[in-house]
Structure 1
Protein backbone atom coordinates (compact mmCIF):
# COMPACT_ATOMS: atom_id res chain seq x y z
CA UNK A 1 0.00 0.00 0.00
CA UNK A 2 1.34 3.40 -0.94
CA UNK A 3 1.83 5.59 2.07
CA UNK A 4 -0.23 8.73 2.16
CA UNK A 5 1.69 11.93 1.44
CA UNK A 6 2.34 13.83 4.66
CA UNK A 7 0.34 17.03 5.00
CA UNK A 8 2.61 20.09 4.64
CA UNK A 9 3.98 21.15 7.98
CA UNK A 10 2.47 24.29 9.41
CA UNK A 11 4.89 27.20 9.56
CA UNK A 12 6.04 28.12 13.06
CA UNK A 13 7.19 31.66 13.83
CA UNK A 14 9.19 32.21 17.03
CA UNK A 15 8.66 35.55 18.74
CA UNK A 16 10.59 36.77 21.78
CA UNK A 17 9.20 39.49 24.09
CA UNK A 18 11.92 41.71 25.56
CA UNK A 19 11.84 44.83 27.71
CA UNK A 20 12.25 46.05 31.29
CA UNK A 21 10.17 44.61 34.12
CA UNK A 22 6.66 46.02 34.52
CA UNK A 23 6.25 47.41 31.00
CA UNK A 24 3.45 44.97 30.17
CA UNK A 25 5.16 42.20 28.16
CA UNK A 26 3.07 39.53 29.88
CA UNK A 27 -0.10 41.63 29.72
CA UNK A 28 0.34 42.00 25.94
CA UNK A 29 1.07 38.28 25.52
CA UNK A 30 -1.92 37.17 27.62
CA UNK A 31 -4.22 39.65 25.88
CA UNK A 32 -3.13 38.28 22.49
CA UNK A 33 -3.38 34.64 23.61
CA UNK A 34 -6.57 34.65 25.67
CA UNK A 35 -8.29 38.02 25.11
CA UNK A 36 -7.93 38.95 28.74
CA UNK A 37 -6.24 41.77 30.57
CA UNK A 38 -4.13 40.74 33.55
CA UNK A 39 -3.08 43.80 35.52
CA UNK A 40 -0.84 42.35 38.20
CA UNK A 41 1.04 39.49 36.68
CA UNK A 42 4.24 38.62 38.54
CA UNK A 43 6.24 36.31 36.31
CA UNK A 44 9.22 34.67 37.98
CA UNK A 45 10.31 32.62 35.00
CA UNK A 46 10.08 32.84 31.24
CA UNK A 47 6.78 31.56 29.89
CA UNK A 48 6.26 30.05 26.48
CA UNK A 49 2.95 30.18 24.59
CA UNK A 50 1.84 28.67 21.30
CA UNK A 51 -1.20 29.58 19.25
CA UNK A 52 -2.59 28.74 15.81
CA UNK A 53 -3.49 31.84 13.80
CA UNK A 54 -4.37 32.72 10.21
CA UNK A 55 -1.78 34.93 8.54
CA UNK A 56 -2.82 36.22 5.11
CA UNK A 57 -5.11 33.22 4.60
CA UNK A 58 -2.53 30.66 5.73
CA UNK A 59 -2.71 28.73 9.00
CA UNK A 60 0.51 29.20 10.95
CA UNK A 61 1.64 28.79 14.54
CA UNK A 62 3.14 31.52 16.64
CA UNK A 63 5.45 30.59 19.49
CA UNK A 64 5.86 33.43 22.02
CA UNK A 65 8.56 33.45 24.67
CA UNK A 66 7.80 35.99 27.36
CA UNK A 67 11.14 36.61 29.08
CA UNK A 68 11.09 37.54 32.75
CA UNK A 69 13.43 37.51 35.70
CA UNK A 70 16.36 35.86 33.96
CA UNK A 71 17.49 38.85 31.93
CA UNK A 72 20.30 39.30 34.45
CA UNK A 73 21.82 35.93 33.61
CA UNK A 74 23.63 36.63 30.38
CA UNK A 75 23.96 33.00 29.31
CA UNK A 76 20.23 32.28 29.73
CA UNK A 77 19.29 35.53 28.03
CA UNK A 78 21.61 34.86 25.09
CA UNK A 79 20.08 31.39 24.66
CA UNK A 80 16.61 32.93 24.49
CA UNK A 81 17.73 35.51 21.95
CA UNK A 82 19.45 32.86 19.85
CA UNK A 83 16.21 30.87 19.57
CA UNK A 84 14.11 33.82 18.42
CA UNK A 85 13.21 34.66 14.83
CA UNK A 86 11.72 38.04 15.66
CA UNK A 87 11.56 40.41 18.64
CA UNK A 88 8.95 42.67 20.21
CA UNK A 89 10.94 45.17 22.26
CA UNK A 90 8.47 46.70 24.71
CA UNK A 91 8.70 49.82 26.86
CA UNK A 92 6.08 51.78 28.78
CA UNK A 93 5.25 55.26 27.46
CA UNK A 94 4.90 56.27 31.13
CA UNK A 95 8.50 55.33 32.02
CA UNK A 96 11.47 57.09 30.47
CA UNK A 97 13.88 54.50 31.96
CA UNK A 98 12.12 51.62 30.22
CA UNK A 99 12.47 53.47 26.91
CA UNK A 100 16.19 54.08 27.51
CA UNK A 101 16.62 50.35 28.29
CA UNK A 102 15.38 49.36 24.81
CA UNK A 103 18.76 50.43 23.37
CA UNK A 104 20.51 47.85 25.58
CA UNK A 105 18.09 45.10 24.54
CA UNK A 106 18.58 45.98 20.89
CA UNK A 107 22.36 45.90 21.31
CA UNK A 108 22.28 42.51 23.07
CA UNK A 109 20.02 41.02 20.36
CA UNK A 110 22.24 42.29 17.54
CA UNK A 111 25.31 40.93 19.30
CA UNK A 112 23.78 37.47 19.74
CA UNK A 113 22.11 37.28 16.32
CA UNK A 114 24.91 39.10 14.48
CA UNK A 115 22.29 40.39 12.07
CA UNK A 116 21.19 44.01 11.85
CA UNK A 117 18.03 43.20 9.92
CA UNK A 118 16.52 40.70 12.32
CA UNK A 119 12.67 41.19 12.41
CA UNK A 120 12.17 43.66 15.27
CA UNK A 121 9.36 45.99 16.38
CA UNK A 122 9.67 48.77 18.93
CA UNK A 123 6.48 48.79 21.02
CA UNK A 124 5.32 51.62 23.29
CA UNK A 125 2.81 50.01 25.66
CA UNK A 126 0.26 51.57 28.06
CA UNK A 127 -0.86 54.18 25.54
CA UNK A 128 -4.21 54.33 27.40
CA UNK A 129 -2.32 56.19 30.16
CA UNK A 130 -1.72 59.21 27.90
CA UNK A 131 -2.00 61.66 30.85
CA UNK A 132 1.08 59.97 32.41
CA UNK A 133 3.08 59.89 29.18
CA UNK A 134 6.83 60.51 29.59
CA UNK A 135 7.99 59.32 26.17
CA UNK A 136 6.60 61.29 23.21
CA UNK A 137 5.54 59.62 19.99
CA UNK A 138 8.12 61.77 18.17
CA UNK A 139 10.98 60.55 20.40
CA UNK A 140 10.04 56.89 20.01
CA UNK A 141 9.45 57.22 16.25
CA UNK A 142 12.85 58.88 15.85
CA UNK A 143 14.54 56.01 17.72
CA UNK A 144 12.73 53.43 15.55
CA UNK A 145 13.77 55.38 12.44
CA UNK A 146 17.38 55.33 13.61
CA UNK A 147 17.16 51.52 13.90
CA UNK A 148 15.14 51.22 10.68
CA UNK A 149 12.34 49.32 12.46
CA UNK A 150 8.58 49.99 12.82
CA UNK A 151 7.21 51.71 15.95
CA UNK A 152 3.73 50.89 17.24
CA UNK A 153 1.91 52.03 20.39
CA UNK A 154 -0.25 49.49 22.20
CA UNK A 155 -2.50 49.12 25.19
CA UNK A 156 -2.84 45.67 26.71
CA UNK A 157 -5.76 47.08 28.70
CA UNK A 158 -7.90 48.35 25.78
CA UNK A 159 -6.38 45.80 23.34
CA UNK A 160 -5.30 48.65 21.04
CA UNK A 161 -2.87 47.35 18.36
CA UNK A 162 -2.22 44.14 20.32
CA UNK A 163 -2.98 41.85 17.37
CA UNK A 164 -1.24 44.28 15.03
CA UNK A 165 2.21 44.01 16.65
CA UNK A 166 2.18 40.20 16.72
CA UNK A 167 0.86 39.90 13.16
CA UNK A 168 3.20 42.58 11.78
CA UNK A 169 6.16 40.81 13.33
CA UNK A 170 5.02 37.41 11.98
CA UNK A 171 4.79 38.96 8.51
CA UNK A 172 8.37 40.18 8.81
CA UNK A 173 9.55 36.75 10.01
CA UNK A 174 7.70 34.98 7.20
CA UNK A 175 9.04 37.35 4.53
CA UNK A 176 12.53 36.95 5.93
CA UNK A 177 12.29 33.15 5.74
CA UNK A 178 11.04 33.30 2.14
CA UNK A 179 13.92 35.62 1.29
CA UNK A 180 16.47 33.22 2.77
CA UNK A 181 14.97 30.17 1.05
CA UNK A 182 15.02 31.97 -2.29
CA UNK A 183 18.75 32.63 -2.08
CA UNK A 184 20.83 30.06 -3.91
CA UNK A 185 23.70 30.18 -1.42
CA UNK A 186 21.45 30.46 1.64
CA UNK A 187 23.51 33.38 2.89
CA UNK A 188 21.84 36.32 4.51
CA UNK A 189 21.58 39.25 2.22
CA UNK A 190 21.85 42.35 4.34
CA UNK A 191 20.52 44.75 1.74
CA UNK A 192 17.26 43.21 0.63
CA UNK A 193 15.58 43.49 4.00
CA UNK A 194 16.23 47.20 4.44
CA UNK A 195 15.19 48.03 0.91
CA UNK A 196 12.03 45.96 1.16
CA UNK A 197 11.23 47.23 4.65
CA UNK A 198 7.65 48.23 5.24
CA UNK A 199 6.63 47.84 1.60
CA UNK A 200 4.52 44.76 2.26
CA UNK A 201 1.34 45.27 4.22
CA UNK A 202 -0.01 42.40 6.24
CA UNK A 203 -3.69 41.59 6.34
CA UNK A 204 -5.21 40.43 9.62
CA UNK A 205 -8.18 38.18 9.00
Structure 2
Protein backbone atom coordinates (compact mmCIF):
# COMPACT_ATOMS: atom_id res chain seq x y z
CA UNK A 1 0.00 0.00 0.00
CA UNK A 2 1.32 3.41 -0.94
CA UNK A 3 0.64 6.87 0.48
CA UNK A 4 1.97 10.31 -0.39
CA UNK A 5 4.11 11.78 2.43
CA UNK A 6 2.97 15.29 1.40
CA UNK A 7 -0.77 14.52 1.52
CA UNK A 8 -2.01 13.32 4.92
CA UNK A 9 -5.41 12.41 3.51
CA UNK A 10 -3.77 9.62 1.49
CA UNK A 11 -2.36 8.15 4.70
CA UNK A 12 -5.65 8.58 6.56
CA UNK A 13 -7.62 7.01 3.73
CA UNK A 14 -5.16 4.13 3.65
CA UNK A 15 -5.44 3.53 7.40
CA UNK A 16 -9.22 4.01 7.46
CA UNK A 17 -10.14 2.02 4.37
CA UNK A 18 -7.51 0.28 2.29
CA UNK A 19 -5.84 -1.72 5.04
CA UNK A 20 -9.24 -3.03 6.13
CA UNK A 21 -10.08 -3.97 2.53
CA UNK A 22 -6.82 -5.88 2.15
CA UNK A 23 -7.36 -7.74 5.39
CA UNK A 24 -11.01 -8.51 4.63
CA UNK A 25 -10.63 -9.66 1.02
CA UNK A 26 -7.17 -11.23 0.99
CA UNK A 27 -7.29 -14.90 0.07
CA UNK A 28 -4.09 -15.45 2.04
CA UNK A 29 -4.18 -14.02 5.55
CA UNK A 30 -0.42 -14.62 5.86
CA UNK A 31 0.45 -12.57 2.77
CA UNK A 32 3.31 -10.12 3.08
CA UNK A 33 2.17 -6.51 3.22
CA UNK A 34 4.29 -3.42 2.78
CA UNK A 35 3.52 0.21 3.50
CA UNK A 36 5.41 2.59 1.23
CA UNK A 37 5.57 6.34 1.69
CA UNK A 38 6.15 7.98 -1.68
CA UNK A 39 7.52 11.42 -2.64
CA UNK A 40 10.49 11.26 -0.30
CA UNK A 41 12.07 13.80 -2.68
CA UNK A 42 9.60 16.42 -1.33
CA UNK A 43 10.88 16.33 2.24
CA UNK A 44 10.27 20.07 2.70
CA UNK A 45 6.55 19.49 1.97
CA UNK A 46 6.20 16.44 4.23
CA UNK A 47 3.01 16.23 6.27
CA UNK A 48 3.06 12.55 7.34
CA UNK A 49 6.00 11.85 9.64
CA UNK A 50 8.16 8.81 9.17
CA UNK A 51 7.59 7.94 12.83
CA UNK A 52 3.80 8.02 12.44
CA UNK A 53 3.83 5.78 9.37
CA UNK A 54 6.46 3.45 10.80
CA UNK A 55 4.47 3.00 14.02
CA UNK A 56 1.33 2.20 12.02
CA UNK A 57 3.17 -0.34 9.88
CA UNK A 58 4.71 -1.97 12.94
CA UNK A 59 1.34 -2.20 14.70
CA UNK A 60 -0.17 -3.88 11.64
CA UNK A 61 2.82 -6.16 10.99
CA UNK A 62 3.61 -4.54 7.64
CA UNK A 63 7.04 -3.94 6.16
CA UNK A 64 7.76 -0.21 5.86
CA UNK A 65 9.83 1.90 3.49
CA UNK A 66 9.83 5.47 2.26
CA UNK A 67 10.84 6.08 -1.33
CA UNK A 68 10.68 8.42 -4.29
CA UNK A 69 9.37 7.24 -7.61
CA UNK A 70 10.78 10.44 -9.15
CA UNK A 71 14.40 10.03 -7.97
CA UNK A 72 14.16 6.23 -7.54
CA UNK A 73 15.50 6.55 -3.98
CA UNK A 74 14.69 3.34 -2.06
CA UNK A 75 12.47 1.96 -4.85
CA UNK A 76 14.76 -1.03 -5.32
CA UNK A 77 14.94 -1.44 -1.52
CA UNK A 78 11.15 -1.64 -1.43
CA UNK A 79 11.14 -4.56 -3.86
CA UNK A 80 14.13 -6.22 -2.20
CA UNK A 81 12.50 -6.04 1.23
CA UNK A 82 9.28 -7.48 -0.12
CA UNK A 83 10.87 -10.22 -2.19
CA UNK A 84 13.16 -11.12 0.71
CA UNK A 85 10.10 -12.00 2.80
CA UNK A 86 8.39 -14.12 0.14
CA UNK A 87 9.03 -17.81 0.59
CA UNK A 88 8.99 -20.08 -2.39
TM-score by length of 2: 0.89
Instruction: State which structure, 1 or 2, has the greater radius of gyration over its C-alpha atoms.
Output: 1
Give the number of the structure whose residues are more often strand, by fraction. Answer: 1
1:101 pairs with 2:5: no
Query: 1:117 Cα shift?
Result: 2.9
Deviation at 1:115, TM superposition (A): 4.3
Tell me, which stretches of 5 or more residues in structure 2 are unaligned?
none
Is 1:92 matched with 2:4?
yes
What are the residue-to-residue correspondences of 1:48-59 with 2, within 5 Å?
none
More helix by share: 2
Output the CA distance in 1 between the equivalents of 2:78 and 2:23.
20
Separation in 1, partners of 2:49, 2:9: 13
| Unaligned stretches of 5+ residues in structure 1 | 1-88, 179-205
Match of residue 82, structure 2, among 149, 165, 169:
169
After TM superposition, the score normalised by the length of structure 1 is 0.40
Query: Please, what is the CA RMSD of the aligned residues?
Result: 1.4
On the 8 A contact 2:35/2:65 being kept in 1, the answer is yes
Please state if 1:121 is matched with 2:34.
yes
Q: Deviations over 1:79-135 (max 9, x none)?
A: xxxxxxxxxx00000000000122211111111115443111100000110110000
Taking the aligned partners of 1:116 and 1:132, their CA distance within structure 2 comes to 35
**1:152 alignment partner, one of 65, 68, 72:** 65
Count how many residue pairs are aligned between Structure 1 and Structure 2: 87
